[in-house]
Amino acid sequence: MDTIKQYTANLQKPRNRKGLKNSTKESLVGWSFILPMLIGFCIFCFIPIITSLGISFTDWNLLQAPKFVGLQNYTRLIKDSSFIKCVSNTLFFVLTMVPSILVISLILALILNKGLKGRGFFRAAFYIPCITSTVAISMVWLWIYGPQNGVLNSVLGTFGISSVDWLGNPLTAKPALVIMRIWQASGYYMLMFLAGLQTIPDSLYEVAEIDGATKWEKIRHITLPLLAPTMFLVIILLTIESFNIFEAVYVMTEGGPAGATDTLMYYIYHNGFRLYNMGYASSIAWFLFLVLIVLTLIQFKFKKEDIY
């Protein structure tokens, strides 16, 4: 009891000047490390974000002074058929890309986790597209999807299948972009799953094997449950990435044909930097921002329910 009282009394004693000086010095050193990042974040991220919110309530063409219009830009969204079509197209990319990339990257991670000869080479090969410029990759896939002398149509021609205008047909343009993005992004999320798989102890699989568990049972009852945190992060990142698809659309289709690949991000660019309607473009951007916030919060809620 005396020891506890003495310890409590020591905690209540004011620090000496030397201790305060050292603490202040440590705080200043810590702030000196993060201050450049905070200044850069405020100048290039936070201030532009808040400014764009103000612009969304104006009619501004970049040449004249902004004119306050209140909620007019937001009410216009409901009546804009092009905007509704962009939402539909964006949802198509989200609903096709997220599960496809999730499954493919997980399968690749399971195959390349251990036991495969040359797995280092294959890991690097699958990851290279992720660090390659999307514009450069889009140019390569334009050549692959070429309607006349494209690689894909040339391969199909050897089997007697007639050429298809992959990016010029509204029925095939979106699936063509999805295939390209799956090929590009799967390697990145494969590495995330690989990192998660490395944290699972081998002893769990050994015990399951002794109990006579099959490979599928080990994946179902050990791998997938222990990969839940990694999968949760991958789903969030994939959802955000799918909603923000832009570069491939800009280079390969420019929103065509007939608006079949016009996404929310491309529509923001089109209104802001082609039509110079910055107020309306900002309102679309904030709509997209709120959608992503809501979806992320919903995913966190379901995640907490799974845990608790």
Mean of pLDDT values over 23-35: 84
pLDDT value, residue 21: 66
pLDDT value, residue 266: 96
Mean of pLDDT values over 171-184: 95
Write out pLDDT tens, residues 224-272. 999 999 999 999 999 999 999 999 999 999 998 989 999 999 999 999 9
Indicate if the pLDDT at residue 3 is higher than 70: no
80-131+184-307 falls under which CATH superfamily?
Answer: MetI-like (1.10.3720.10)
pLDDT value, residue 211: 87
Indicate if the pLDDT at residue 20 is higher than 60: no
Mean of pLDDT values over 8-12: 48
pLDDT class of 14 with cuts at 50, 70, 90: low
Write out pLDDT tens, residues 83-101. 999 999 999 999 999 999 9
Q: Two tokens at 127?
A: 């990851």
Mean of pLDDT values over 54-60: 95
Residue 59 main-chain phi, psi, to 5 deg: -110, 110
- pLDDT, mean over the chain: 88
Are the C-beta atoms of residues 164 and 171 closer than 8 Å to each other?
A: no
pTM assigned to the model:
0.86
| Tokens 């499954």 found at | 103
pLDDT value, residue 118: 82
Evaluate the omega torsion of the peptide bond into residue 36 and state whether it is cis, within 30 degrees of 0: no
Distance separating the N- and C-terminal Cα atoms of the chain: 38
Domain residue limits, the chain: 80-131+184-307
Indicate if the pLDDT at residue 308 is higher than 60: no
pLDDT value, residue 7: 42
Among 155, 174, 137, residue whose Cα is nearest residue 256: 174
Write out pLDDT tens, residues 123-147. 899 999 999 999 999 999 999 999 8
Instruction: Please return the burial class of 109, using the count of CB atoms within 10 Å of its CB with bins 0-12, 13-18 and 19+.
Output: buried
Write out pLDDT tens, residues 201-225. 989 888 888 888 888 998 899 999 9
